[in-house]
Amino acid sequence: MTEQLAPSTTVPLSAPFYGASLPVAVGRYWRKYATFSGRASRSEFWWWALVQFIIVAILLAIYIPSLLAGRTGGNGIRIDAGIIVVIVVGGIWGLVNIVPGIALTWRRLHDANLSGLFWLLSFIPSLGGLIMLVLTLLPSNPKGARFDAPRA
């Protein structure tokens, strides 16, 4: 099934939002912080991946030149306040995003009608990242609705 355009009405958090825009995807990411049930559309997943990539790239763009400028003679690397700030901010950002990042990937796998446990494949050295890339690129599958919360 191809990605559908988002309807003009509000999509409930329990349903995948096909055709989500960047602000919608980011908002849903934070509102569904630790929700492993349900599904996430490709647009929800990949908009957040772009945001995450940009933030990490900015942190690295600050960190690497500071690290290289701080080199000293034979004693190794001089750590200054700028490097410490970037390490702390980057560490906090990484810790804050562990659970929601796993949950989003888990829901994305559900939308492709795969068990969220396939996420564990990411631990395979060298190939794990490539496997997860392929699995998260899979199109939505209507059979993935089996992972949705039962309707009352």
pLDDT per position as a tens digit, 25-54: 999 999 999 999 999 999 999 999 999 999
More confident: 1 or 149: 149
Q: Is 126 exposed, middle or buried (0-12, 13-18, 19+ CB in 10 A)?
A: exposed
Enter the DSSP assignment of 11: P
**Rounded mean pLDDT of 90-95?**
95
| 6 has a pLDDT exceeding 90 | no
pLDDT, tens digit (0-9, with 9 covering 90-100), for 48-81: 999 999 999 998 888 777 666 665 555 556 667 7
